[in-house]
């Protein structure tokens, strides 16, 4: 089956497993892809609303995989038992929502491999993983429809702390590998910060301005490495 570049970025991080859980499944493309390509023997597709589950059900029936995927309606990881899912995928929602879902059922999250793809605020997700003793073992970034999407694969660990805020935005491994999309993302963030600063009241001097200038300088330093 063909899936979008964004979803494929997350799907490529799936390793062979017994059970994959897709939280906020929407059309059900991630669990369908995992089962069809035999990455997962079975899957759980969940959503807080019944509408997306009906759409996902049609996807599974179209590909003849309904017997391998269970539909569950519920909030976040509430639908799972401990150690039920080997891999948990959360994609298609904002960074704050992903953090809320993980934090509500942190013990379930720590028993699985996490594949996370926030639609916004990847830095919030990375900071949470760091402070909650998760290690990011793989990262990727894609651009689709003029938007950037970060994907992180994380497991229970020690929680690496970065010495510069910019690394929570970019991901340290993406800098080290000189990821081809990262340079464009860094330039985008520098321009975004410049626009925020220009939009501030004339003569404004405060903590927020200093934070933005510091972050901009860090992005510019990263740009030199790419």
Q: What confidence tens digit (pLDDT) does each residue in 94-131 have?
A: 999 999 999 999 999 999 999 999 999 999 999 999 99
Residues 6+ apart with CB under 8 A from 170: 182, 185, 186, 222
| Two structure tokens written together for 115 | 């594949």
Residues 6+ apart with CB under 8 A from 87: 14, 15, 17, 19, 20, 21, 40, 112, 113, 114, 115
Domain final residue pick, 161, 194, 215: 161
214 and 137 in a single domain? The answer is no
Compute the half-sphere exposure of residue 125: CA atoms within 13 Å on the CB side of its CA.
29
Q: What pLDDT was estimated at residue 207?
A: 87
In-domain check, residue 196:
yes
In-domain check, residue 171:
no
DSSP H or E segment with residue 10: helix 5-11
DSSP 8-state symbol, 28: -
Q: Is the pLDDT of residue 188 over 80?
A: yes
86 and 149 in a single domain? The answer is yes
- Give the pLDDT confidence of 24-36 residue by residue, as tens digits: 998 999 999 999 9
138 and 105 in a single domain? The answer is yes
DSSP 8-state symbol, 12: T
Rg over CA atoms, the chain = 19
How far apart (Å, rounded) are the C-alpha atoms in residues 212 and 185? 17
| Contact between 122 and 142 (Cβ < 8 Å) | no
The pTM (predicted TM-score) of the whole model is: 0.95
Q: What is the CATH number of the domain that holds 132?
A: 3.40.50.150
Report strand pairing: 40-47 vs 17-23: parallel
115 and 210 in a single domain? The answer is no
151 and 213 in a single domain? The answer is no
Residues 6+ apart with CB under 8 A from 204: none
In-domain check, residue 20:
yes
42 and 102 in a single domain? The answer is yes
Q: What are phi and psi of 14, to 5 degrees?
A: -75, 130
- Give the pLDDT confidence of 37-61 residue by residue, as tens digits: 999 999 999 999 999 999 999 999 9
In-domain check, residue 169:
no
| Contact between 71 and 53 (Cβ < 8 Å) | yes
How far apart (Å, rounded) are the C-alpha atoms in residues 70 and 42? 8
In terms of Cβ atoms closer than 10 Å to its own Cβ (0-12, 13-18, 19+), residue 94 is: middle
129 and 200 in a single domain? The answer is no
In-domain check, residue 177:
no
Q: Is the pLDDT of residue 87 over 90?
A: yes
In-domain check, residue 173:
no
207 and 115 in a single domain? The answer is no
56 and 152 in a single domain? The answer is yes
Domain range for 73: 5-161
- Give the pLDDT confidence of 144-165 residue by residue, as tens digits: 999 999 999 999 999 889 999 9
Number of domains in the chain: 2
Which of residues 1 and 94 earns the better pLDDT score?
94
19 and 96 in a single domain? The answer is yes
150 and 194 in a single domain? The answer is no
In-domain check, residue 74:
yes
Domain final residue pick, 106, 128, 161: 161
128 and 210 in a single domain? The answer is no
Cα distances from 168 to residues 6, 94, 171, 224, in angstroms, run 20, 15, 6, 18
């Amino acid at each position: 089956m063909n899936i979008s570049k964004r979803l494929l970025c997350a799907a490529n991080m799936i390793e062979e497993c017994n059970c994959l859980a897709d939280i906020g499944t929407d059309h059900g493309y991630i669990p369908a892809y995992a089962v069809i390509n035999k990455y997962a023997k079975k899957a759980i597709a969940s959503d807080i609303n019944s509408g997306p589950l009906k759409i996902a059900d049609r996807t599974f029936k179209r590909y003849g995989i309904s017997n391998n995927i269970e539909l569950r309606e519920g909030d976040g990881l509430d639908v799972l038992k401990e150690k039920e899912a080997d891999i948990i995928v959360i994609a298609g929602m904002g960074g704050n929502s992903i953090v809320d879902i993980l934090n509500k059922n942190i013990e379930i999250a720590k028993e699985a491999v996490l594949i996370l793809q926030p639609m916004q605020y990847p830095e919030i997700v990375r900071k949470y993983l760091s402070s909650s003793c998760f290690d990011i073992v793989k990262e990727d970034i894609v651009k689709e429809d003029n938007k950037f999407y970060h994907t992180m694969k994380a497991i229970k660990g020690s929680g690496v702390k970065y010495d510069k805020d910019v690394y929570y935005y970019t991901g340290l491994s993406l800098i080290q590998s000189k990821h081809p999309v990262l340079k464009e993302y860094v330039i985008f963030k520098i321009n975004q910060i410049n626009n925020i600063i220009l939009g501030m009241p004339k003569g404004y001097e405060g903590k927020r301005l200093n934070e933005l200038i510091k972050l901009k300088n860090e992005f510019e330093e990263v740009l030199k490495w790419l």
